[in-house]
């Protein structure tokens, strides 16, 4: 699965990497968690350009009775997108990119302890998860929620020792087809939902404080190695 990630790159770098026409200012975030609003890139057919919007992480299908279903739909398995009612319509019509520059997974060390790892590109560049988005309206209050999910696939060689799934990371040449800027068949789209090349990625252990969603500090993404975990009480400027 993918349950935490980071996006610390500047707004200017995000705009440049994804050729975004309309965007919003973003603060660096090092511990993005389900239920939070996250930066998402969608194709805007009315203006024929890419736009950066904030969507709630945890997909709420249009037919859902309650919004809380989103907490169980933070991820969508690539292998069953065309079969699951929660995802198949979004896969056909509402695909998106979710920018990131790292994500986190936990390796089971023993029966009592899991060790968190950061997984990034070797060159620390920005990349994009393949995502889906939906719009849901509360029939009682009229509230509209736009939400999204991260697609996952089998792990590559670097992720497999840590977890049995990994997020789908799209190659830049596939952005246009995934967003719907270019026409693509269902088979063509499913063919790009595969593990990212392991030789371009790196991973390292990090401090257990990443497990608390309110912690948001650059120290969270630093290699722990043999040093003591960081004292998050001394990083109050980064905690919200």
Mark out the alpha helices in the chain (DSSP H runs).
11-18, 88-93, 175-179, 186-191
Decide: 68 and 56 in contact? Cβ < 8 Å. Answer: no
Residue 107: Cβ within 10 Å count: 14
Q: Let me know the angle formed at the C-alpha of 172 by 79 and 179, rounded to the nearest 5 degrees.
A: 60
List phi, psi (to 5°) of 169: -105, 120
Provide the Cα torsion 33, 36, 41, 44; round to 10°: 160
Cα 202–chain centre separation: 17
Q: Which residues carry out catalysis?
A: 2, 105
């Amino acid at each position: 699965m993918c349950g935490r990630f980071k996006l610390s790159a500047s707004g200017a770098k995000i705009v440049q990497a994804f050729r975004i026409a309309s965007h919003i200012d973003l603060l660096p975030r090092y511990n993005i968690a389900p239920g939070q609003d996250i930066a998402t890139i969608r194709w805007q057919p009315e203006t024929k350009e890419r736009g950066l919007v904030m969507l709630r992480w945890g997909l709420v299908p249009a037919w859902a009775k309650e919004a809380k279903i989103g907490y169980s739909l933070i991820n969508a398995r690539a292998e069953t997108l065309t079969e699951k009612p929660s995802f198949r319509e979004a896969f056909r019509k509402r695909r998106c990119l979710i920018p990131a520059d790292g994500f986190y997974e936990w390796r089971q060390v023993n029966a009592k302890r899991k060790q968190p790892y950061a997984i990034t590109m070797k060159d620390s560049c920005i990349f994009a998860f393949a995502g889906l988005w939906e719009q849901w309206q509360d029939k009682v209050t009229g509230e509209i929620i736009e939400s999204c999910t991260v697609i996952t696939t089998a792990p590559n060689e670097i992720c497999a020792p840590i977890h049995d799934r990994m997020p789908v990371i799209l190659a830049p040449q596939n952005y246009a087809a995934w967003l719907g800027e270019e026409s693509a068949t269902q088979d063509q789209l499913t063919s790009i939902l595969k593990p990212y090349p392991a030789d371009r990625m790196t991973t390292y252990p990090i401090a257990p404080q990443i497990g608390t969603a309110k912690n948001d500090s650059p120290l969270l993404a630093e290699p722990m190695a043999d040093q003591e975990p960081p004292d998050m009480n001394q990083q109050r400027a980064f905690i919200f």
